[in-house]
Amino acid sequence: MTFDQLNILILDTPIYAINGLLWLLYALMSILPALVSVAVAGVMMLVVDDAVQKLASARPLRDGRGGLQTSQKTSQIVTGIVLALWIVAQWGMGAPVPWIGAAMWIAGLLATLAVPAQRFSLLNGVKVGIATYALAVIISRIYLIYTAQIGPEQWAAMLGSADAAAQIIANTRANTTTVAIWALWLVVPLGYFSMLAQQVFLNPISLTNPLATYEQMLLSLRDRGGR
C-alpha cells in the first residue's frame, strides 16, 4: 500500500464510520415505535397482567386457612397475542401510525397503573382498543393493495366504459385513502383515548388511598372494624 492510498484510507475511515452510525440510527428510528410497544407490553405483562392474573386465579380456603394460587397465564398470553397483532399491523407503515400505536400502549399502561381499582376493566379495554386499531390498519392496507391491483380493463368490464372506469378509479382511491387516513390518524385513536379517560374518571378516587385496589380497600375496612 502506497503512502497516498494509506492517506486516503485514513481520511475515508471517519466518513465510513459516520455513515455507518447514521445508517444504524435511521434503522433504529424506523423500528423505534415497535421497540417502544414491545417494551411497554413487557412491563404490562410483568406488572399489570401478573397482578390481575394472581387476583383472578386466587382461591380462598375454608376457615381462614389462607388461599390457593393457581399458575395460569391467560392475561399475559392475551397481551402477547395483541402485541403480535400490532407488530404485524404496523410493520412497514409510515409515521404517524406506528407512533400512534406506541402512544396507545403507553397510555394504556399508565392508566392501569394510575387507577388500580379499575384495573380489570381498563386492562381489557386497552387490549381490545389496541387490537381494534391493529385490525383497522390491516384491513385498510389490504383494501388499498387490492384496489391498486385492479386494472382499468377490469373496472371497464364492470362499468361498461373506459372513461367511467377511469373516473371511478380516481374517485374511489381518493375517497378510500381519505377515509383510511381519518380513521387511522384520528377517529380510532380518539375513541381509544376517550375510552381510557372515561374509565379512569368513571368512579371517584379514594381520598384515603388513591392507589389502592378494591381488595386493599376491603382489607383496610375489615382491619379497622376488628380493632
Peptide bond into 96 cis (omega under 30): yes
Q: Give the best-scoring range by mean pLDDT among 63-67, 126-130, 163-167.
A: 126-130
**pLDDT mean over 54-69:** 59
Residue by residue, DSSP assigns 67-101 as EEE----HHHHHHHHHHHHHHHHHTTPPTTHHHHH
Q: Which of 10-14, 117-121, 180-184, 214-218 is the least confident region?
A: 214-218
Higher pLDDT, 211 or 14: 14
Q: What letter would DSSP give residue 205?
A: P
Structural domain of 176: 3-226
Question: Would you say 118 and 202 are in contact if contact means Cβ atoms under 8 Å apart?
Answer: yes
Question: How many C-beta atoms lie closer than 10 Å to residue 25's C-beta?
Answer: 10
Say if CB 13 and CB 81 are below 8 A apart. Answer: no
User: Is residue 115 classed as helix, strand or coil in its secondary structure?
Assistant: coil
CA atoms within 13 A on the CB side of 118: 24
For residue 223, pLDDT over 60 is answered with: no
Task: Give tens-digit pLDDT for 40-51.
Answer: 999 999 999 988
Domain count of the fold of the chain = 1
Whether the bond into 116 is cis, omega within 30 of 0: no
Please tell me the predicted confidence (pLDDT) of residue 89.
95
DSSP type of residue 200: H
